[in-house]
Structure 1
Amino acid sequence: MRKSNLTIALATTVILMACSEKKQDNQEVQTNNLKENILADYPEIPREELLEDDSLTLKVYEELTLRYKSQLTNLQQAVNANGAQLVLTFLSPEVGESLTKSNRLGKDLIEQYAKELNIPFFDLTQNLEKLDPKVITQLPKDGHWSKEGARIIAEELTPIIKQYSQVKSTKIYTEKPELYGDLVPSNDEILDGGKGLPYRVKTNAQGLRMDTDLEPTKSKQRILFLGDSEMFFPFLDNKNTGTNLLQNAFPDKEMLNAANWGYSIDDYVSLYKEKAQFAEADVVILTVNGNDFLDMYFSHRNRFSRNKQPQNPSENEKLYYQKHFQK
């Protein structure tokens, strides 16, 4: 009788698990379908035109900036909860004659938010703007950093690393996910991007762009880098990235590169909370630029956010979209 009851119990458990998985799969399908419908209805993604000087556009941009500040606050709270130090670094190849309005306005606003939230802020573009763009980037083929640009960025970050060399996080996690980043783990491949600029991307077992795996127990200070392609260093082999140059300069520390193409502030928040925080980094260096505010527009988030949940437009965003794209 006991064996029969046990068999029934196991069968019931299997059925319940199967039903739960099927329900979850159905929910994911429904979410994906809803997001695809929104993408189909709102395919256009405005950029610099979101800075036009009219009352509706100003309202939309204000909404985007407040959204950004809310996400930045969330990240600060999550990092603080781990007893770690959050640092903001402003970085963009759009400097000097290439400076866009979004980056100019965005930098001032991000610096203001950093001051209000008591987050250290460093502008890494001050020396870059004095240099030839064709030297620090891979122009004319691509506007991302060249080897020389990555070297200069590592130099700019060096005093920041030294300034916070004694910071130690207080949170220790006994249970951790397998991955701390969103990249394919233990990968080694040559990418090109269709621009004739082949480069080698290696990831460790935790899905971070670095050559070595992290030990379960931390023995060195860990510096976590969050950012978009400017910190991912596309079109450069691992050995030439800014974070790897820093790793060579600071062998007593571990440089964790969790940056990824197209990410913005909400992606950094979700990535940190879901995965990266379990690496127990002592210092979190977030690389930002003024374009991040434009990324907050709902159609951009639906297209590029790592969050699978669809984002509907606010009333002002919808009015703006109708005015500019549905004439």
Structure 2
Amino acid sequence: MRLRRKLLFALLPIVALLLLTEIAIRCAYYQKKSGYRLALFHATDRIARKVNEVRLSFVLGRDRLERPADAQKRQADFFNSPAMKLVRDDYFTKYEQAFGDLARLCKEADSLLVVMYLPSWKSSREVARSFYKGLTTKYQIPYLDLTDTFSSYPETAICLLPRNPHISRFGNQVIAKALLDFLKPYLGHRSSVRHDKRPTALGDLRRNHQSIWNIDPAMPYVVATNSQGLRHSSDLVFPKPKDKTRILCMGDSFTFGPYLNDLDCYPQIMEQMDGGVEAINAGIAGYMICDEYSYFEERGRFVEPDMVVLQVLDNDLYGFFPYWQKQFCRGGKYCIYPRRR
């Protein structure tokens, strides 16, 4: 009898350990196969973002840099104040240098570069608008300005207002139609450049990953990536389909499509509208011209795009602020968005 009790008590910890191991394995499998993550992991993500925000706040204070909230309030001053003219001109010069490098890379890749400007509803937009117009004229780049198109609709229809200023599903439909109409004369262009070798990752997102992003708990959305790290419904094939025009859409969050599911972003809508187009979403929240140049040089050109659409905003010109570099740029140490690359 005593021997049985000893054996029973000896086996209980082993059985409990096996049960816990099975639960852990099942949880790990569930997390890998499903986009619906456990509350514990959501909490971990939120804590990690808070830690990064605190670290960023400490760095900004130590380096005497302007905080993001304060910098956002000063954006209009950045454009309009005579006192900021030297800074503004310096940022314009830096932007043009990076833009020129990107234009050169696109030419080497035999990819037609097109610039698409999405306006804000602020008076400061006229400075950025004229800057982009002058830049594209100088480099002889096709330029699509959606200011008049957006003005045809209420702001609350184009954007996710009042909750968020990003583009709504309807707004993305408007962009997709306007962009396709603008690109029609160029859809016959085909890049002659081919690559025998290319990196495994062609995008800057985690590869083969599906999850619900809840940076704003009230506006969760699904992000799914292919095996190449792109927010695209399928893997890109090589050699390219001869009957389709491959368009690489680069930009910031207004191309990436926060708070929208994958199929509601304008690159995917373009594919639905025109079966002869393969539009690839390579947008990343917070990216600006230096990041887009870096991405295209490292990965984007290996997509072998026939066209490259560079989506620009007024706030692209703020990307040289030190806080922006630390928090949003491609090599940002304190990035507040879910880990990428």
TM range (shorter): 0.7 to 0.9
Counterpart residue type for residue 228 of structure 1: D
Match of 1:165 among 187, 193, 197: 187
User: Contact 1:172–1:280 (CA<8 Å) still a contact in 2?
Assistant: yes
Alignment of 1:232-311 (within 5 A): 232-307=256-331
Instruction: Please say which structure displays the higher CA radius of gyration.
Output: 2
Aligned alpha-carbon RMSD (Å): 2.1
Task: Say yes or no: does 1:99 pair with 2:127.
Answer: no
Displacement of 1:299: 3.8
SS of equivalent residue, structure 2 residue 240: coil
User: Alpha-carbon deviations, 1:22-62, whole Å to 9, x = none?
Assistant: xxxxxxxxxxxxxx96884143153333235334x211110
For residues 309 and 322 of structure 2, the distance between their equivalents in structure 1, rounded to whole angstroms, comes to 26
Q: Indicate yes or no: 2:76 matched with 1:53.
A: no
Establish whether residue 184 from structure 1 lines up as the match of residue 210 from structure 2: no
Shift of 1:128: 0.8
Identity %: 26
TM-score (structure 2 length as normaliser): 0.74
Q: Assess if the C-alpha contact under 8 Å between 1:227 and 1:263 holds in 2.
A: yes
Q: 1:128 to 1:54 in 2, by over 3 A?
A: closer
TM-score when normalising by structure 1: 0.77
Q: 1:290 to 1:308 in 2, by over 3 A?
A: closer
Tell me the CA shift for residue 253 of structure 1.
2.6
Mean CA deviation greater in 113-122 or 187-196: 187-196
* Corresponding position of 1:78: 105
The equivalent position to 1:65 in structure 2, one of 92, 110, 117, is 92
Cα 1:132–1:273 change in 2 (3 A) is same
What is the rounded CA distance, in whole Å, between the counterparts of 1:249 and 1:161 in structure 2?
13
* CA distance in 2: counterparts of 1:58 and 1:154, whole angstroms: 35
**Secondary structure of residue in 2 paired with 1:127:** helix
d(CA) in 1 for partners of 2:227, 2:199: 11
Change in Cα spacing, 1:162 to 1:52, as seen in structure 2 (3 Å) is closer
Structure 1: state its 5+ residue gaps: 1-35, 310-327
Matched residues in 2 for 1:197 and 1:37: separation? 29
Ranked by relative contact order (alpha carbons within 8 Å, sequence separation 6 or more), the top structure is 1
Q: Distance in 1 between matches of 2:324 and 2:293?
A: 17
Unaligned runs of 5+ in 2: 1-57, 334-341
